[in-house]
Amino acid sequence: MLFYSKIAPKVKAPVTRLFNGSWEVRGAVQRGPETRTKKQLLNNVEYYATKIPEVAKFKDQLKNLNYVDLVSDICELASNGEVLSQAAALSLTKKQNGVSVLDRLIPQIIKADKQNPHALAFTKEVINNTDTLTSKYFLNAASGGILTDTKVANQFNATRPIVRTIAESTLTGFPSLDFRPQKRFMNIIETFIHPEVSHLRITSLSKLLEKIDSMPQANSYKVDIDKFMNLLTPTARINRNIESLPTVETALARLGKQVDPVDYVSGATVKVEPLS
């Protein structure tokens, strides 16, 4: 005699990492490293498939992705409401004209996992360095198709190291009804994630910011991103000047002076100013 059961095995509660039950810090955050096992992440997908129809539809494909950890984070974001009423507009599961953000996003993630992994690594970086409101704002914007655009793969890869810096410089002040901090964040992201923007120049910007952060007077320097990205100076020369900036800064600091870092790395004649 054969026995069988129609009772499905119980799925364990997910192992989450974005929400801990306490009041969430708004703006730039720094989430801990990924510590969940593959088994835990696969169980998470199983669990969310019982709660979110969009996940259930693609469950088997999602469980086979390299970025299943990102899928788990996005499911966690989709499953948790926001305290702020205006955040309802950023819902990942709310249907508009019969389609939700997840309906558009999940097929792109499945495709990008193989064809454009830099885009998913970048998305993970955004979630790791921004509050949940900003992460949802980014995912809403990304659902338009940018994650599968291989023409900006290098730009995604070059911008990823400075996501935290962008978040810290834009996600300031109190949350606003018109998502002003999130718009500031996305404006800069969209400046970089564009096929006509040189990924080598973005990498140089990352080097400049890292170099400035290592200098004693780091807080007194301001970097005009637009000015830097539009420099006509060859990138190789910019990189050489970035390497010598700390030496010049040290010498000028003894005199109570400083230079505009973008002017200096451009190789142009620079104006020496008092330390701010």
235, two tokens: 């990138």
pLDDT at 7: 52
Answer yes or no: is 161 within a domain.
yes
In this structure, are 177 and 204 located in the same domain? no
* pLDDT tens track for 23-43: 677 889 999 899 999 999 999
Give the pLDDT band (50/70/90) at residue 176: confident
Give the pLDDT band (50/70/90) at residue 1: very low
Flag whether pLDDT at 265 surpasses 70.
yes
- Mean of the per-residue pLDDT values for the chain? 89
How many C-alpha atoms does 228 have within 13 Å on its Cβ side?
25
SS3 34: coil
In this structure, are 50 and 80 located in the same domain? yes
pLDDT at 25: 76
> Vertex 194, ends 191 and 200: CA angle to 5°?
90
57, two tokens: 């539809």
Distances (CA, A) of 264 to 135, 164, 208, 238: 35, 24, 11, 9
pLDDT at 71: 98
Q: What is the dihedral of CA 231, 235, 236, 237, to 10 degrees?
A: 10
Adjacent-strand bridge partners of 272: 259
How many C-alpha atoms does 233 have within 13 Å on its Cβ side?
22
pLDDT > 90 fraction of the chain, expressed in percent and rounded: 70
Answer yes or no: is 2 within a domain.
no
Mean pLDDT of 100-128: 98
Answer yes or no: is 3 within a domain.
no
Widest distance between CA atoms in the chain:
93
Give the pLDDT band (50/70/90) at residue 256: confident
Q: What is the number of domains present in the chain?
A: 2
**Domain coverage including residue 87:** 9-197
pTM above 0.85, yes or no: yes
Q: How far is residue 20 CA from its own chain's centroid?
A: 21
Q: Of 181, 197, 213, which residue sits at a domain end?
A: 197
Mean pLDDT of 140-154: 97
